[in-house]
Amino acid sequence: MLLSELNRGEKARIVDLSRVNDMVKRRLLDLGVMEGMEIQLKERMPFKGPFMLNHGGQCLGIRHQEAVQIEIKRL
């Protein structure tokens, strides 16, 4: 399933990031987000706005357009 299909508060493991734009992927890697990592959806902004994720105690925001390209597995 896709990250965009996750509900608020749910946890998931990232399965595939290969479809994400290179610059975004690099920035996510800088923040320690890569395949195999566990994330939690904290909040999603309205009107297909950004997603707030929790990853190992740090909080980060990404766009909806990226969330639809991230393959995850719900935990």
Partner 1 sequence: MNLALLGNPNTGKTSLFNNLTGSYEYVGNWSGVTVEKKIGTLKNKAGQLIDLPGIYTLNPLSKDEGVVSNFFIHDSFDGIVNIVDASQLERNLNLTIQLLEFGKPLVIGLNMNDVAKNRGIYVDEQKLSTALHVPVTSIIARTGKGCSLLRDQLANLQTIEQQPLILHYGAALEKGIEALSKLMPKQAANHFPHRWLALQFFESNQNVQDFLAAFISTETLKALYEETEQAVQKGHGVNSLSQWIYTVRRTYIDSIIEQAVDRQSAHSTNWTDRIDAVVTNKVLGLPIFLLCMLLLFKLTFDWLGTPLSDALDSFFSGPLTNWLSWILTSIGASSFIQALVLNGIISGVGGVLVFMPQIFILFFFISLLEDSGYMARVALVMDKVMESVGLNGKAFIPMIIGFGCNVPGIMAARTIEQPKERLLTILLTPLMSCSARLPVYALFVGAFFVQYQTIIVFSLYLLGIVMALLLAKLFSMTILKEEQSLFVIELPPYRLPQSKALFRSTWDKGKGFIRKAGTFIFGGSVIIWLLTYAGPHGLNVQMDDSFLALVGGFAAPLLAPLGFGTWQAGAALITGFLAKEVVVSSMNIIYHVPNVDSLQGLMATQFTPLAAFTFMVFVLLYIPCLATVGTIRKETGSAKWTYFSIIYALVLAYVLSFVIYQGGKLLGF
Q: Least distance (Å) from partner 1 to the CB of residue 33?
A: 9
Considering only residues 44 to 73 of the shown chain, the ones binding partner 1 according to CB under 8 A are: 44-50, 52, 56-63, 66
Nearer to partner 1, 12 or 70 (CB): 70
Task: Identify the CA nearest to 40 among candidates 16, 7, 15.
Answer: 7
Please give the Cα distance from 7 to 35 (Å, whole number): 20
Please give the Cα distance from 3 to 27 (Å, whole number): 17
Residues near partner 1 (CB under 8 A): 18, 21, 23-24, 26-32, 34, 42-50, 52, 56-63, 66
